[in-house]
Amino acid sequence: EAGVAQSPRYKIIEKRQSVAFWCNPISGHATLYWYQQILGQGPKLLIQFQNNGVVDDSQLPKDRFSAERLKGVDSTLKIQPAKLEDSAVYLCASSLIPTYEQYFGPGTRLTVT
Amino acid sequence: GNSVTQMEGPVTLSEEAFLTINCTYTATGYPSLFWYVQYPGEGLQLLLKATKADDKGSNKGFEATYRKETTSFHLEKGSVQVSDSAVYFCALSGGGGTSYGKLTFGQGTILTVHP
């Protein structure tokens, strides 16, 4: 069974630029999560989707971050404009249903200079 | 809201030593508790879990018991190996007032095991 795929793996941008990350969850997984992991901290949930609907986006900085999950499969997370404090690893995870085990992708490491 | 606190790290041990990584939590209701591991260069993996009080999760020689009276879920292993070197995260899900599935993580503990 293929795991959660993410791209790109690494991205370096200047502040005020925009960036987008892509996630392809495990086939059949209805629930998809985006987490932000700042160096030295645990991951923090940004947004949770159930199929293509948003379940929880309470910690998503909506003035600069946006996410979508078209057709309930792939998802993209966008930052526009980026700030220095957005430097982090962005993790995508998926699960069959919310109460089942979450499987994590390898993450995208973003550096904002 | 929910929160998880892990012991200060990093932890450095010799091979075959006993390991304890402390984890305490704050949550309303009855959350599920997890330990995740992140090996160098790899993604997060579920190590073990417990879904109700007094449950013991175990995997690969690691164990943790869900203690509701002390709101703790300490990770233990009787004899660590060099291959156990990784970052360990305690996490919880559920409990009152949060969406099902959302994981709240501790800050992580870096474990280094020397031969």
Per-residue pLDDT tens over the stretch B49-68: 999 999 999 999 999 999 99
Residue A22: strand, helix, or coil:
strand
Contacts of B69 by beta carbon, 8 Å cutoff, 6+ apart:
none
Please report, rounded to a whole number, the percentage of residues in chain A having pLDDT higher than 70: 99
From A42, A48, A98, residue closest to B105, measured CB to CB = A42
Task: Tell me the shortest Cα–Cα distance from B9 to chain A, in angstroms.
Answer: 10
Instruction: Answer whether B13 touches A (CB < 8 Å).
Output: no
Q: How confident is the model at residue B3 (pLDDT cuts 50, 70, 90)?
A: very high
Please report, rounded to a whole number, the percentage of residues in chain A having pLDDT higher than 90: 88
Residue linked to tokens 């966008």: A78
- Rounded Cα distance, B73 and B70, in Å: 9
Q: Does pLDDT of B45 surpass 70?
A: yes
Q: Does pLDDT of B76 surpass 90?
A: yes
* Confidence (pLDDT) at A101: 86
SS3 content of chain B, % helix, strand, coil (to 5): 5, 55, 45
Instruction: Answer whether B102 touches A (CB < 8 Å).
Output: yes
**Are residues B107 and A40, on separate chains, in Cβ contact within 8 Å?**
yes
**Are residues A95 and B101, on separate chains, in Cβ contact within 8 Å?**
yes
Residue B61: strand, helix, or coil:
coil
Task: Tell me the shortest Cα–Cα distance from B85 to chain A, in angstroms.
Answer: 16
Distances (CA, A) of B107 to A16, A80, A86, B4, B110: 28, 27, 18, 8, 10
DSSP B101: T
- Weakest mean pLDDT among A4-8, A99-103, B22-26: A99-103
Q: Given the DSSP bridges, would you call strands B11-14 and B109-114 parallel, antiparallel or unpaired?
A: parallel
Residue linked to tokens 């709240």: B104
CB A66 within 8 A of CB A57: no
CB B65 within 8 A of CB B54: yes
Contacts of B104 by beta carbon, 8 Å cutoff, 6+ apart:
A45, B1, B2, B3, B4, B91, B92, B93, B98
